[in-house]
Amino acid sequence: MKLVKYFALAAIVLSASTGAYAKDIKPWHDGFKCKDCHDQGLKSFPSDQSCLQCHDVDDLADATKRGGDEEWQNPHNNLHYGKELPCIECHSEHQKPETYQPLCLDCHTFKYEKFKG
Amino acid sequence: MQNRRNFLKLGAGAALGGLTASFPAAAASSCGKEIKWDETHDVVIIGSGFAGLSAAHNAKKQDLGSVLVLEKMQVIGGNSAINGGWFAIPRNPIQLAQGINDDSPEELVKDQMISGRGMASRPHLMRIAEHALESFEQCVANGVTFREGFNMQVGGHNKARAVRTTYGTGGEITQNYYETCVKQGVDFRKQAYVEDFIMDGTTIVGVKVRFNYQFPNAKSGQVKFIKANKGVVIATGGFAQNMTLRNLFDPSIDPTYDCTNAKGATGEVTMTAMSHGALSVHMNMIQSGHWGSPDEGGFGWSNALLSITWHEGMVVSVLDGKRFMDERRDRKYCSERISANRYPDNSPAYPIAFFNYNDHPDDDRVTRAVRDKMAWIMNSVEEMAERFNIDPKALQENIDLHNKHVAERHDPLFGRKMDTARNLEAPFVVSRIWPKVHYCMGGLKTDTEGRVLASKDLGVMKNLYAIGEATGGTHGETRLSSCACLEGLAMGIVVSKTIKADA
């Protein structure tokens, strides 16, 4: 844990001193700065409110709507949590998309071809 | 920052370190008088599954004052939200409509005592069963819908008494209860991890909580102290996801078994209570669900699909094509026999389970499983034998033998009840099966009203309550299917009355 602290400190110092981003961010978020999302400090994950400044849950649920027997495979409106699933439960800004998967795939073999991370 | 779930992929050493740090030292906490409280509530409920939600709902109905629910994860519902939505209710309306008039709470408890193998608690089971119908009626009042005309006999039960939510998940219950609770003014805090209890002797006066906690980092978030005027209810579920505790309490559990549980089922609050002197029992009784599938993670679709197989189909070993168990027995019996199927190198020889496709072509238990490739439609015995590497002649012989037993309505091999068994002929719906760690029968010992008992003198720990899977001693060696939902919801009703009586 100490090592993690040192790295975090180094990242903060580096970020502050050079203006460079401490972490890679997704290409569609180019231009955003740390404080645009990190509403709970750099050591914490952002709250949902941060994502919802720009995104709307109902719009997302509509955009990812599925028909027929796949109705409840909608990642933004599902049978277990409805629309209450926090964004960062599935989406990560700084991780490479190939290193993680949506929460649903912990138990189901649904297909989420459009999931970009 | 790392993605939270990626954090779990760190080496076992780091994970172990994290978990070790999360178990508080047994040193006494500060006396309540010295604490500067950040907040005060009447009832503090830890956990937001069936038990916690029911306790919150019923605490409001009992006018117990302000109710706070603390949930360490980012989502409401725990294991309850992802469960299969099965609910055992003697004398439920569908059962009565089916002409089954001789069921009762006593009949349910009779079945549970058998499956508990001498280790269950009849008084606790009766207390729960007595509230089955009321729990069901509360669900309906809160907007939960159940499948029309659906009332099934599930493993180990002697009567058809299990209803099921419309879409087959517990999430339909948790979401409806959550919405009702919010309207009632229940205060929910997610990412709120209860790190320790504040005790005055064996009386609990409050809890030490990490807000903005990020599972599983035990040091994340900011500490606050919450005072509880009337009671703290532990509704934190079991610890099936905690490999350290699993290995400690039952080293015989195959470490390669997957787990059906949500990630947060790690048991820290139970350990906290024990560190303050709460009595725990049956911690080594950890149940595996025999209905797991190696072709999907966690809980998935398999449980629902196999509810058809156990009644109508058969299970055979891929090693010799033979049946090896009574498919309608309970989880312990079936898990043991399934997991005995091994190749010479001890790797799993996943048995196959199958029934007639033509009996259920449109059932969503079938269509979903086939669509998501954890079951397959096989058009002949030969195709099935080739797909799963079984001797086709042996497989055919054993299907023929089984069909003979179906015709005779008698199973001389394993004594299976054959009243629902079907003559099997292709095409089949086939899935592979393997047990998954599912439920902890052990936990905190309470009286029948939900009060936690102290290990020092077996007296009640004042203001401390526990309900649901966090408790122990109730089910004994095996919990019957469809009874966890009942227990959580029923004990939420019971404990709210207890707190009212004790306040």
Q: What is the mean pLDDT of each run of 10 residues along chain A (117 residues)?
A: 47 46 77 88 85 92 89 91 90 87 89 84
Q: Is B77 within 8 Å of A43 when comparing Cβ atoms?
A: no
* A111 closest CA partner among B82, B293, B372: B372
Catalytic residues of B: 331
- String of b and e for A49-81 (b: at least 16 CB within 10 Å)? ebbeeeeebeebbeeeeeeeeeebbbbbbbbbb
For strand B352-356 and strand B428-432, is the pairing parallel, antiparallel, or unpaired? antiparallel
The Cα B502–Cα A115 span in angstroms is: 52
The pLDDT value recorded for residue B233 is 98
Please state at what angle helix B50-61 crosses helix B483-502, rounded to 10 degrees.
40
Torsion of CA B463, B466, B467, B468, to 10 degrees: 160
Rg (CA), chain A: 17
Cβ of B219: how many Cβ atoms within 10 Å? 12
**Partners of B204 in beta bridges:** B199
**Per-residue pLDDT tens over the stretch B378-405:** 999 989 999 999 999 899 999 999 999 9
Residue B471 tokens, joined: 């408790």
The Cα B450–Cα B455 span in angstroms is: 16
The Cα B441–Cα B484 span in angstroms is: 10
Low-confidence ranges of chain B (pLDDT < 70): 1-34
* B84 closest CA partner among B179, B14, B134, B155: B155
DSSP B31: P
Q: Is A94 within 8 Å of B1 when comparing Cβ atoms?
A: yes
A46 contacts in chain B (CB < 8 Å): none
DSSP B471: B
First to last CA, chain A: 27
The pLDDT value recorded for residue B291 is 86
- String of b and e for B395-413 (b: at least 16 CB within 10 Å)? bbebbeebbebbeeeebee
The pLDDT value recorded for residue B4 is 43
**Per-residue pLDDT tens over the stretch A27-53:** 989 898 897 999 888 878 888 889 998
Cβ of B282: how many Cβ atoms within 10 Å? 23
* DSSP symbols for B75-91: SS-HHHHHS--EEE-TT
Backbone angles phi, psi at B170, to 5 degrees: -70, -20
DSSP B469: G
Instruction: Answer whether the bond into residue A46 is a cis peptide, omega within 30°.
Output: no
A108 contacts in chain B (CB < 8 Å): 296-297, 300-301, 372
A83 within 8 A of A57, measured Cβ to Cβ: yes
Fill in the amino acid letter for B58: N
**Partners of A82 in beta bridges:** A78
* B288 closest CA partner among B154, B441, B414, B469: B441
* B231 closest CA partner among B57, B109, B55: B55
- CB proximity list for B22: less than 8 A, separation 6 or greater: B195, B216, B218, B268
For chain A, domain boundaries: 24-106
Cβ of B189: how many Cβ atoms within 10 Å? 18
The pLDDT value recorded for residue B173 is 98
Query: Out of A44, A82, A89, whose CB is closest to B74?
Result: A89
Q: Is B1 within 8 Å of A80 when comparing Cβ atoms?
A: no
Q: Is B297 within 8 Å of A105 when comparing Cβ atoms?
A: yes
Cβ of B114: how many Cβ atoms within 10 Å? 17
The Cα B132–Cα B139 span in angstroms is: 11
Residue B355 tokens, joined: 């029934």
Residue B146 tokens, joined: 């159940």
Residue A72 Cα, gap to closest chain B Cα (Å): 9
Cβ of B464: how many Cβ atoms within 10 Å? 27
Pairs across A and B, CB distance < 8 A:
90
B167 contacts in chain A (CB < 8 Å): 72, 79
The pLDDT value recorded for residue B139 is 98
The Cα B392–Cα B384 span in angstroms is: 8
* B448 closest CA partner among B482, B470, B474: B474
Residue B147 host element (H or E) = none
B32 within 8 A of B206, measured Cβ to Cβ: yes
- CB proximity list for B182: less than 8 A, separation 6 or greater: B188
DSSP B259: B
**Partners of B356 in beta bridges:** B428
Q: What is the largest CA-CA distance in chain B?
A: 77
Query: Out of A78, A82, A86, whose CB is closest to B74?
Result: A86
First to last CA, chain B: 45
Structural domains of chain B, with CATH: 1-6+39-286+441-503 (3.50.50.60), 291-434 (3.90.700.10)
Residue of A nearest to B213 (CA): A44
- Three-state SS for A82? strand
B313 within 8 A of B355, measured Cβ to Cβ: yes
Q: Is A108 within 8 Å of B300 when comparing Cβ atoms?
A: yes
A106 contacts in chain B (CB < 8 Å): 263, 297-298
Residue B220 host element (H or E) = none
